Amino acid sequence: MKPADHKIYLASKSPRRRELLRQIGVDFELLLLRDSAPRGPEVSEEVRPGEQPLDYVTRVTKEKGEFASRIMLMRRLPIRPVLSADTTVVVDSRILGKPADRNEAMEMLRAMSGRTHQVLTSVALHHDDQHWQVTQASEVRLAKLSEERIRAYCATTEPYDKAGAYGIQGLASVFIEHISGSYTGIMGLPLHETAELLNQAGIPVL
């Protein structure tokens, strides 16, 4: 069933995803999980034993969308499509999430220094009993980083709300030697793939 209007819910706290949706003219309302959650655990972002990066990011994105859809129904909000997304950084098959502290952020940057890593961003759209989902993969090569540069970057606030401890659109842009894939996907929401999902759900995007 196509939505009655073209407004969606965004189940994400990321300011970058908000900016990217506005960039392509999508009308949305935030539906934050933590602040609205019913009793019981929120979606777990813990990696399950033996879980591969692609499976992980796909699962977490799908669960976020399903959880947000339940919140929408429990709060008796207007029924609209729910967009969810998750981004993970992968180096040597190891999943790098958001760093817990400065030491972990520095360790992540050391692991990626002078090397190419993968960025996976999965996007899902839920509406009624329908589900659309796509995962986009990009590769990013960081320059060889000195300890001084790593320490200076981790002394800022930028690394701590981002998978892999860096933001390509911020100060860390000076570390990037090469990318292959989707710049907006590396930011957290691949716009080509997102627009395709929205169009499939009957929400027109230019």
At 126 the three-state DSSP class reads strand
Burial of 49 (0-12, 13-18, 19+ CB in 10 A): exposed
Residue of 46, 41, 40, 37 lying closest to 70 (CA atoms): 37
Annotated catalytic residue 5: no
At 182 the three-state DSSP class reads coil
In whole angstroms, give the CA distance from residue 198 to residue 105: 34
Out of 5, 27, 55, 86, the active site residue is 86
Angle at 64 between CA 58 and CA 70, to 5 degrees: 135
Neighbouring residues of 2: CB distance < 8 A, sequence distance ≥ 6: 201, 202
- Would you say the C-alpha torsion 21, 195, 12, 15 has a positive or negative sign? negative
Do 123 and 171 meet the contact criterion of CB atoms below 8 Å apart?
Answer: no
Enzyme catalytic residues: 86
